[in-house]
Amino acid sequence: MTKVIRTDSEWRQILAPEQFRVTRMRGTEPPFCGNLHPGAEPGIYACVGCGLPLFSSAARFESGTGWPSFFAPFASENIVEHDDSSHGMVRTELLCVLCDAHLGHVFSDGPPPTGLRYCLNSAALVFVPGQTG
């Protein structure tokens, strides 16, 4: 896989303003505002910046938090995790391995089988219907 490297100017031409703020400036969208509402339709949630498959609808669950939540990634090698101590909190940030887009955070309060909750920003994802992996 080849890394996607662009300048901020190039990202601003590709992404909508909210997508740029979330993915490139490590922002967080308000809860319950995203356009990726839970549904029964099978599909893949891909990175908005590069199209890399990140999560499957088969791993999505309703967490009640207002953000899309999953108990496992599509492929663990597609996600980079690192410590994030911003805003006075200690958490684990999630980034796309190809384009370094900020996706959200992972917490250890999820359902079985992993016990993890991958809490993502809708602005960082694009839904591709029909594919499940």
Q: What residues are designated binding site for Zn(2+)?
A: 47, 50, 96, 99
**10 Å Cβ neighbour count for 35?**
9
Among 98, 119, 120, 124, which one carries the catalytic annotation? Answer: 119
Query: Is residue 33 annotated as a catalytic residue, yes or no?
Result: no
- Feature table: binding site: 47, 50, 96, 99
The residues, ordered by sequence, that sit 6+ positions from 22 with a Cβ below 8 Å of its Cβ are 28, 29, 102, 121, 123, 124
Q: Cβ atoms within 10 A of the Cβ of 31, count?
A: 11
Q: Which residues are catalytic?
A: 119
